[in-house]
Structure 1
């Protein structure tokens, strides 16, 4: 296992196109090419607001950009499902376990019940029916020529006689009301049972020993270095990626090449690491593959780090959009984080990338509770509920409410890699006899912070 990380810093001071609001030159960031990174160093970097795309690691310039990107994490161990999230998991379960014909029968039965109950509950309609029946009866008596013999009158001490048809109708209404009450009680019990179910219970779609209609299997394969299973399924995954990019994001096929796919979602600077107190699969970069009836329909790109599962990207077959793969995969990954915690106690959080309050399409990440945003000035985690009022008032805001500030970094302590030798920056200055990069190193040092500054090796030619 490599015990060091090597990065090459690129200062970027010109604006470029924003993928969220479409502005041509209002997005700003600084980046590094990571030749290699330990998982702990990358964990520390994302806790400073950095994020990777392939081997390129970048940090948005929050106070300058049009759509500030706040790092967001969810506390997986205390995650609480919302009603809509529960509904989605039930929908997936129904798709996997109920035959289409049975769903149709259930729908038809519901329609028939509604057809029987509607006239009984429509008092105006029932009254109109009784009047028409009486008219028809009078007409029959008139045509038959029969006459009725008047009696002495009704006994006021006895209840009035009712038509047989009306008696039957009232009995039916009473029966339906009793059934409705019973169904309401059962529904209440069912809701109570569902409320008590955990995320793991709802993700367990198929009961052991049952015969599901569809088989959904989630497989974890290491993507860097590439495992044999990853290599075997590479082409299938790439085809899903190309279909997703061209259909969902409207990318031209020329931008969805295998080379682009590899650089973006396969290449990773993270070193493969294993430890006695870590997960069985180890740390590093992986693809979580979703196989439905033997067909690959979605892939979640994730990094397993010392304190979290970090979501990098998701792509899926647009034909299965009806299953809401984005939300479903996020719930699966939260469940996976909780599973990893069993063997790696320090691994407790699910990182969802960036939360962009000013972009409606990106605000959905705030629906996973409890979640926290990283303050861009103090680098502390603040509950998202406390952040949202501030972000409603201004796209960029200091989230930490105390006067806590980021620690200043002494650039003389920054570690650099020069002529294949690791050394503090102060030694490098003496050996290189050059101070032309001092301002650049100062900028780098403050962006990565004191801890990373002492562990990362900044490449110097």
Structure 2
């Protein structure tokens, strides 16, 4: 039996803002520690503005924080690429075919690691400015008193794609000279014909044309695997954090990497076998594999045999949710942040195609969406998110989704940096104290579950009354259904 979601409410957390660098505790979010979290419950939480960093859950208090963060999602099925998006994919294709070799690539392929044309933003701007407050403690609970211990949840066994050791990329033709190169060119298979101009863009075809295609100067492939630690991933993460975020090398540690991008509270409901006909090329193999339908994953990007980027993602009932993206700064010229966003959209489509038709017919939103984290209207690092259409922003009061084209005008007119997106609109000055909170009546509060001495009891039977307001405060920031079956722990 799957454990219920188990949360420890932590309360409001003022800290220095990672966006405006105010130097003061002006960024305010509500935090909770997730010992366990079902994917259905996390889907409900992100639809009310929550996100996770490792096992730490946080929800910006929008009318109080200095830089309001609006949850943004994209309709992956209806994605309309801009000219820039098509150019990014075409640029990568030309590089793989050897038709385009920028100076930065020449330096990298020649062994000089100092190349690059400046950082390319990825979906990595959702990091809270405060680290998770404590280590996780194992909690196993049951909803009725009994003497025998509850059965531990059995972690699913997953076929993990092996990360290949990093090697130098191809350095071009050997010393055989022009004659050898001419013969090699003669024997090479003919290039596929280019599509005619004005051909409608097809995301599935465009990604498939890049991933795993043979007979190119460079190969480009991806593997989807459960979130896990490898030396190659950590080395890439450390290089990225130092070069892009200017972290001191001593502070980029293996344990910090694990807590941030490997540890996850998400529990998977089980395995789903994939047939060869529905296996995505993103998985890196056409052989049938069994893997969790939902949970936390690493989508790894390889150029030839070298790991050059990793997308940390959650697969949830309705979406692919981007958690973080890091890449080799030496390959900034490939615009990997934008490429990865489109690859993740394709993954959402593949996951949807793998669902039985009856599921899609009954629940039309299943794996339809691509969540890109938070959108900050005045932050230049967030501009790329707004360029993906059709996208929607979450109203922080009513929790309805507003098309970006409608929301952007409202945000432009916000005099103090914050506004709700639907009528009646409020600003910081006019927002009620409990903006975005539900009213939790006494009767509902009495029925909330709380963990006590190895058992779960209704809140009304819990002896410590000082805990009650903290539990009720957390429940008020969740929808009623999710709060009703979540188990809370004392503060």
Corresponding residue of 1:398: 420
What's the counterpart of residue 262 of structure 2?
Answer: 266
Residue 324 of structure 2: aligned partner: 313
- In the alignment, which of 359, 377, 397 is matched to residue 377 of structure 1? 397
- For 1:317 and 1:455, locate their aligned partners in 2 and report how far apart those are by CA, in whole Å: 42
How far apart, in 2, do the equivalents of 1:325 and 1:372 lie? 23
Counting helix residues as a fraction of each chain, which structure ranks higher?
1
Matched residue SS, 1:301: strand
What is the distance in 2 between the residues matched to 1:209 and 1:2?
40
Distance 1:285 1:362 in 2: 24
- The alpha-carbon deviation at position 209 of structure 1 amounts to 7.6
Question: Which residue of the partner structure matches residue 351 of structure 2?
Answer: 340
Tell me the secondary structure at the aligned position of residue 313 of structure 1. Answer: strand
Q: Does 1:355 align with 2:375?
A: yes
Residue in 1 aligned with 2:97? 97
Unpaired stretches in structure 2, ≥5 consecutive residues: 104-194, 280-289, 361-365, 426-434
Structure 1 residue corresponding to 2:221, chosen from 204, 214, 217: 217
Report the counterpart of residue 290 of structure 1 in structure 2.
Answer: 301
Q: 1:377 to 1:68 in 2, by over 3 A?
A: same
CA distance in 1, matches of 2:222, 2:56: 28
Contact 1:69 1:356 survives alignment (8 Å): yes
CA distances 1:321-365 after superposition (whole Å, capped 9, x unpaired): 000111110010011111111123311111111011121211321
Structure-2 change in CA distance of 1:100 and 1:389 (3 Å): closer
Out of 243, 250, 260, the position equivalent to 1:247 is 243
Which residues in structure 2 correspond to 1:33-432 (within 5 Å)?
A: 33-99=33-99, 190-193=196-199, 196-205=200-209, 211-223=215-227, 230=228, 234-274=230-270, 281=291, 282-344=293-355, 345=360, 346-394=366-414, 395-401=417-423, 407-410=438-441, 411-428=445-462, 432=463
- For structure 1, which segment, 383-392 or 197-206, has the greater mean C-alpha deviation from structure 2 after superposition? 197-206
Deviation at 1:405, TM superposition (A): 8.1
User: Tell me, which stretches of 5 or more residues in structure 1 are unaligned?
Assistant: 104-188, 224-229
Deviation at 1:214, TM superposition (A): 0.5
SS of residue matched to 1:397 = coil
Contact 1:309/1:349 (<8 A) preserved: yes
TM-score, normalised to structure 1, is 0.74
Give yes or no for contact 2:94–2:100 (8 Å, CA) kept in 1.
Answer: no
Distance 1:415 1:51, change over 3 A: same
Structure 1 residue 21 corresponds to structure 2 residue 20: yes
Deviation digits for residues 195-220 of structure 1, max 9, x if unmatched? x1311121123599851110011000
SS of the residue 1:408 aligns to: coil
CA distance in 2, matches of 1:365, 1:413: 41
Over 3 Å counting, the alpha-carbon distance change for 1:417 and 1:241 in structure 2 is same
Q: Which string of whole-angstrom CA distances, capped at 9 and with x for unpartnered residues, describes residues 396-441 of structure 1?
A: 111133799865323223222222222322232xxx1x32233322
For residues 426 and 277 of structure 1, do their structure 2 counterparts lie closer, same or farther at Cα, with a shift above 3 Å needed? farther
Please, what is the CA RMSD of the aligned residues?
2.5
Q: Deviations over 1:152-197 (max 9, x none)?
A: xxxxxxxxxxxxxxxxxxxxxxxxxxxxxxxxxxxxx94311xx13
Deviation of 1:320 after TM superposition, in Å, equals 0.4
1:205 is paired with a residue whose SS is helix
Matched, 1:457 2:487: yes
TM (norm. structure 2) is: 0.69
Q: In 2, distance between residues paired with 1:446 and 1:208?
A: 47
Distance 1:277 1:379 in 2: 35
CA distance in 1, matches of 2:477, 2:211: 50
Secondary structure of residue in 1 paired with 2:197: helix
Provide the rounded CA distance (Å) in 1 between the counterparts of 2:232 and 2:29.
34
- Mapped partners of 1:209, 1:393: distance in 2: 48
CA contact (8 A) 1:199 1:335 kept: yes
- Structure 2 match to 1:164: none
Distance in 1 of aligned mates of 2:101 and 2:39:
49
Looking at structure 2, the residues matched to 246 and 102 of structure 1 have their Cα atoms a distance apart, in angstroms, of 24
Larger Rg: 1
Out of 239-248 and 372-381, give the one that drifted further. 372-381
**Count, aligned residues:** 361
In 1: Cα distance, 2:487 partner to 2:471 partner: 12
SS at match of 2:489: strand
Q: Secondary structure at the match of 1:34?
A: strand
SS in 2 for 1:43: helix
3-state secondary structure, aligned to 2:314: strand
Counterpart CA distance in 2 for 1:58 and 1:22 is 19
